[in-house]
Amino acid sequence: MKGWNGRILWIDLSNRKIKIHEYDGSFAQKYIGGRGFAARILWDYLPPGLDPFSPHNLLVIATGPITGLPGPSTGKLVVAAKSPLTHGYGDGNIGSLGAVYMRYAGYDALVVTGKSEKPVYLHIYDGKVEFSPAEDLWGRDTFTSERILRKKHGRNTGILLIGPAGENKVKLATVMSQEGRSGGRPGIGAVMGSKNLKAIVFSGDRLPELHDPEEYKKLAAEAYAEIKKKPAYSFWMRQGTMSTIQWSQANGVLPTYNFSEGVFEFSENIDGNAMERMKKGQRGCPNCNMPCGNYILDDTGEISELDYENVAMLGSNIGLNDLAKIARLNRLADMWGIDTIGLGAALGFAAEASQSKIIEEKIDFGDFNSMLELSEDIVYRRGLGDLLAEGLEHASLKLGGDEIAVHVKGLSVSAYDCHAAPAMALSYGVSTVGAHHKDAWVISWEVAHGRFEYTRQKAFRVFELQRIRGGVFEMLVSCRLPWVEVSLELDWYVRLFNLATGLSWTWDDFLIAAERVLTLIRAFWVREFQAEGKGWHRGRDYPPKKWFTRPLTKGPFKGARLDIDRYDEMLGAYYSYVGWDHRGIPRASTLERLGLTDVCKDLESFIQLT
């Protein structure tokens, strides 16, 4: 087997035992890596219905066959677990030297189970695993902790770690790396915290064995050169994802005042052009020649790396119009290790709840000081913050603000308002982890293809994008932005994969593997909801109530809102494309067609399949 290391490292923190699981080519080809490995491992080894904070939850960190190899934007990894926020499948994607050095240490994936008695960090190198005390790091922010670890273990290491949010089991906590890379929105950082695991340090120097290393190197160099030739490259290098603020404002989808509106009257203060005027530099993930981590100085003079989602959710969504102040909240979120999207959604919810007298606390849109104070209260679990740290679904049900809580399956919606975008609403509704744009960012296509329509074509487009973005890129594992943002053709990835592995795959082979993993993840959600007694039903795939009941009051699409019956019809069309029944549960024939016969049998013991 070439391309893959063929080894998964298992670490039990309770008894400090390790074991190496060797897998063969058939597993590799069926699940490829990353999300594919994570979903299969969670399906096979996670006891159904488990409390996500149980020591038996599995923290899976997984790479793929081209991860870490010299090639465009391959310095990425997937972190996954049963989510404490949604109680379903949860994962996230991080750009980190950890991706490179895990592969160079000889492993494709790491599974951490158990719970350490005291705070601990792991150093994985040369076939060894060291368990080191982390009491002196516990309580420290991610920037300081990473600097301490890097000083100790040297520059040639990759570090994944959590901050105070993860330690305090805030369900919005992410896993962090490199002072500005974050992943695992569904609370994967909190799972790490529940295991008393502060950090993982990887080092190694062994490149995985490749089928044709010389040709691979040549093709990778050509791909890098091709990226630089693309017409979109130079503007991308100036603004990265930040230009999406201008795009969202122009198209009326910029989340504003807790997703009440799609335009922000101060958008020019916080958009890509404003960022460019303040820009101090840019940085990015390993192996990337189109780095998108644009940074500015915040209002205290500290470096803060800005992305579209961060600025929209901590800016327009909470009414803040000062980019330097938004940058401060953003930097603190990275230091605390909390999801900026989840945080912006919680703050926006609180401001609207305050306005509507659902809560007594006075929190005003646009008031930086109260937003900062509430953010700290969430991270350190004080007062209202403690409730919001449990997630939007829990907090809103407890407070009675269900109608203004903008989430799907408990995961807050990322930064696209969908009052006037039904396909994007569907994409959030059926995303693999709750409301995330990562699987199907259909909105740019939708805007150009009849945005108010509810068509079968839109449902198919969501499925098509899910297979590429949520399937192929999450399994390979590689950054999708060279394809999305500068139009690097997908065929480059097929050729790189074949040269690394010696296989002769076509694009269609990737699509089948992608469909398999998306269906497996759906089976996981259904199994967990059944096992926990919550039950699975079609309504789980509905977007937030607010988009149906509270129309936009201004902007180009004033008066727009979603129509529930037409949404439901489109959802039905989506189910028929993916081969799931009217409840959104994979049909037995679909599971069998995708080579998941064993999953079919297991799932049948939780719910009757059609």
Residues that bind ligand PTT (CB under 6 A): 76, 92-95, 174, 180-185, 241, 285, 305, 307-310, 333-334, 338-341, 438, 473-474, 479-481
**What residues pair up with 408 in beta bridges, in sequence order?**
411
- Residue ranges in 61-212 assigned as alpha helix (H): 97-104, 142-153, 164-167, 188-194
- Complex with ligand PTT: residue 115 or 181, whichever CB lies closer: 181
C-alpha to C-alpha distance for 265 and 270, rounded to whole angstroms = 11
What are residue 494's phi and psi, to 5 degrees? -65, -45
Q: How far is the CB of 359 from ligand PTT (least distance, A)?
A: 25
Q: How far is the CB of 188 from ligand SF4 (least distance, A)?
A: 18
Instruction: Decide which of ligand PTT, ligand SF4, none touches 339; Cβ closer than 5 to 8 Å per partner kind.
Output: ligand PTT
- Complex with ligand SF4: residue 79 or 292, whichever CB lies closer: 292
Instruction: Decide which of ligand SF4, ligand PTT, none touches 546; Cβ closer than 5 to 8 Å per partner kind.
Output: none
Coil, helix or strand for 399? helix
Q: How far is the CB of 62 from ligand PTT (least distance, A)?
A: 12
Q: Of 307, 279, 319, 329, nearest to 414 (Cα)?
A: 307
- Beta carbons within 8 Å of 489's beta carbon, 6+ residues apart: 483
Closest residue to ligand SF4 using C-beta atoms: 284
Instruction: Decide which of ligand SF4, ligand PTT, none touches 184; Cβ closer than 5 to 8 Å per partner kind.
Output: ligand PTT
Q: How far is the CB of 586 from ligand SF4 (least distance, A)?
A: 31
- Angle CA(443)–CA(448)–CA(452) in degrees, nearest 5? 70
Distance in angstroms between the alpha carbons of the first and the last residue of the chain: 38
Instruction: Decide which of ligand SF4, ligand PTT, none touches 290; Cβ closer than 5 to 8 Å per partner kind.
Output: ligand SF4
Q: How far is the CB of 388 from ligand PTT (least distance, A)?
A: 16
Angle between helices 323-336 and 142-153 (to 10 degrees): 60
- Complex with ligand SF4: residue 49 or 291, whichever CB lies closer: 291
C-alpha to C-alpha distance for 53 and 398, rounded to whole angstroms = 21
C-alpha to C-alpha distance for 258 and 25, rounded to whole angstroms = 48
Residue 232 burial (CB count, 10 A) = 12
Instruction: Decide which of ligand PTT, ligand SF4, none touches 340; Cβ closer than 5 to 8 Å per partner kind.
Output: ligand PTT
Q: How far is the CB of 291 from ligand SF4 (least distance, A)?
A: 4
- Complex with ligand PTT: residue 261 or 485, whichever CB lies closer: 485
Beta strands in 298-444 (DSSP E): 303-306, 407-408, 411-412
Q: How far is the CB of 92 from ligand PTT (least distance, A)?
A: 3
- Complex with ligand SF4: residue 242 or 285, whichever CB lies closer: 285
Q: Of 317, 381, 304, nearest to 347 (Cα)?
A: 317
Instruction: Decide which of ligand SF4, ligand PTT, none touches 92; Cβ closer than 5 to 8 Å per partner kind.
Output: ligand PTT
Q: How far is the CB of 583 from ligand PTT (least distance, A)?
A: 27
Q: Of 123, 128, 135, nearest to 160 (Cα)?
A: 123
Q: How far is the CB of 472 from ligand PTT (least distance, A)?
A: 9
Binding site for ligand SF4 (CB under 6 A): 73, 95, 284-285, 288, 290-293, 479, 481
- Percent helix, strand, coil in the chain, to 5, is 45, 15, 40
Instruction: Decide which of ligand PTT, ligand SF4, none touches 422; Cβ closer than 5 to 8 Å per partner kind.
Output: none
- Complex with ligand SF4: residue 73 or 174, whichever CB lies closer: 73
Instruction: Decide which of ligand SF4, ligand PTT, none touches 94; Cβ closer than 5 to 8 Å per partner kind.
Output: ligand PTT
